[in-house]
Structure 1
Amino acid sequence: MQARSASDRLTLDPETVERFRHDVLALTGVAPGAQPLGLAVSGGPDSLALLLLAHAAFPGAVVAATVDHGLRPEAAEEAALVRRLCNQLDIHHDTLAGTVPAEGNLQQGARALRYALLADWARGRAGWIATAHQQDDVAETFLMRARRGAGVGGLAAMAAARPLGEALLIRPLLGWSRAALQALVEAAGIAPVRDPSNQDPRFDRARIRALLADAGDLPPDRLAAAARNLRDAEAALAWAEAREWAARAVQEGDVLTLDPAGLPRELRRRLLERAVAAVRAAHGLSPDWRETGLDPLLAQLDAGGTGTIAEVIGRTKAAIWRFELAPPRRSH
C-alpha cells in the first residue's frame, strides 16, 4: 500500500470538520473571516487538534499564538514546533512570552499570565480566542472541585464562551474526548508536545487524571454531563439572584440595605456576596475579594447579629440586612 503524503495526512474527515464548524458557529454566531479566529496552541495534542480542525473549517481565517510561561527551558522549542506547523498550514503564528510570579500557586499564576497575554495579543487581531479545553478536562475539574467541597458554581462546567479583553474566549471542544483529539493528531503524523506536569503527582490535576484512568466506573463523559447540568443550574441561580437583587437591595447614602425574607440559603449567600462587593466598589475598593468567611457572616446575619468581612460591616436590624464600610481599625 502506498504511504500517505504529508498533505494527505493533514486532510481531515469532512464530517469531523463539519462537526467542529458547527460547534464554533454555535459560540460565535458568524463564521470567522474579516475577524479571524485566534487559537491558543501549546503544542499538546488537544491544541494541535484544535489547530488542524480550525484550519480545515475556516481556511485563511485563523491566527495562532503560543504562550511561553518561562517555566521550562523546552518551552521555546515547543513554541518553535507550533510555528513550523503553522508555517506549513500558512497560519500566522506569534509566541507570547511572560514570567509567572514566584509567589502563590504556580498553576494559577501560569493560567492568569496566559489569559492576560492572550487578551493583549487578540486586541485588534482576532474577534475570538479558542482554547482546546475538552470533555476530559471538564470531568477532571469537576472531581477536583468536588473533592474540595465546592458549591454549584464551582462544580459547574467551565463556560463555553466568556469575554476576554476585547475578544470572546470560546471553548468549542468541550464535547470532544481527549482520545478522539489525540487520534486526530496521530492520524496527521504529528508528534505533540508532552507536558511533564500532566503526570506530576505534585499537581491535583495529574492525580485526578490518574484516578480517572484507573477507575472504569467514573466515565469522563458522564462526569462532564453532570458538570454541564450544574452549569445550567448555575445560570438559573444567577438569573434568580439578579431578579432578587433588583427587588430587594436599596442604596441609601453610604448604607446598602437588603431584605432577605423568604429566600433560600443559596440565594441569601449570593446576595450577601454581591452586597459586600457593591459596598466595596462604591468606596473605590476592588469588588473582587476572597470570599473566605462568607458562610460565618451569613450565619451571624441570619441570627440577627453583626459581622465584618473584606472591610465591610453587616448588621441585621428589624430583619433587614444593612451594609456599610467598616470604620478603620484603631492603632495602639
Structure 2
Amino acid sequence: MTDLRRVGISPDFWYPVALSREVPKGETRAAAFAGERLALYRGAQGAVYALEDRCAHRQVPLSMGVVEGETLRCCYHAWAYRGNGRICQIPYLPKGGERPPRGVRAYPVREAYGLVFVFPGEPEKAAATPLPDLPEFASPRHRTMTFSRAVHCHYSFMHENLLDMNHQFLHRGVIGRIQPKLLGYDAGPQSVEARYLFTSGKGKKDFGAGLLSAKGPRGSKGSDVITIRTEYPYQTLRLAPTNTELPAFSLWAAYVPEDAEQRVTRAYGLLMIAKPPVPGALPLAWPFIRRFTERVFAQDRTAVEAEQRAWDEQGEDRNHEVFPLILDLRDVLRGNGAPLPS
C-alpha cells in the first residue's frame, strides 16, 4: 500500500493561498501551492490576479513587481503582464528582432469568505468546481474568526489530528479532562464523517473554552456533540450542546501544501461562532476565545510536527494505527490524492 505521506494533494480544487486583506489594491504578494510559486496582485478595479511567480525574461519573481492599473510590471526590465499572464509590453523591444515569449501561466482566482482562492489544477475544470459552501459566514447570527498558520508537516497529519478526538489528553491543561466517545461514523470514497459525545471532566479549563462551548464563563459540566467531516480536500467541525439544535460554533479548514515535497502546510481556518442572546457579549469574549483556540492549535502543531520529524528520520510511515476511523480517512486521502513529483 502506498505510503500516505508520499501522496500529494489533488490540485483540482479551489485552495486559499492568502487572506484578502493581505492583497490590498495596487500591491503584490508572493504565495505558493505545492512548490508552484504564485504572484498575487490586486488591480485598480479591485480584482485579484494570480500569475506564475517568474518573469519570462530573466526569471525574476513577479511578486517583486509593480502594479499599474490591471497590469503587473516586472521590477527588473519593466516587462508588463496582463492578468491572463500574457506579456503586453516590452519597453525596448526592437522591431524585427527575436520573437518574445507569450507570457507566464495564469491561475483562475476567486475571492470568498475573506480568502483568495486559486485553482492550481486543469483550468478547464475550474468553472465546474464549486467553492466550499459556508452559509454561516454571511449569517448575521454569527461572527467569524480567521486563522492562517504554517505547520511543518504533511497535510494528512492535519486531517488525522482533527478527526481523531482521542488525542484530547494532549489538551488536558487547556480544556480539562474531556472524555470523548465516538457515537458513530460514516465513510465513503470522498468523505468521512464522525460524531463524538464530549463530556466534561475534572481539571482546570481555559476561560475561553467555556465561552466557546456556550456553557458560560465557568465552563459548567455537561455534554457536547461534535461532528467532524473530511469532505476531500476540506474539513469541518461543528459543536452543539446536547440541549440545543443550533451549533455553538462551526469550523471550516483547508490545509494547503506550500513546498514541492508537501512537508510544509499552510492551515487556513474559519471559526464561525454563534452570537449569544446578550448583545455585545461576543466582542467582549472575543480575545479570550482567540487565546483559547491559539493554545489548542499550538499544542496540535507541536504533535503533528513531531509526527513529521519521526517520518523524516525513519524514511517511512511506521505508525501502528488501531482506530478504524483513521484507517478509513487515510483511504480517502490516498484515493483522492495525486502522485508527488519525483
Please confirm whether the aligned pair reaches a TM-score higher than 0.5, indicating the same fold. Answer: no
Structure possessing the higher relative contact order (Cα contacts under 8 Å, 6 or more residues apart): 2
- TM interval, short-chain normalised: under 0.3
Higher gyration radius (CA): 1
More helix by share: 1
| TM-score, structure 1 as length reference | 0.24
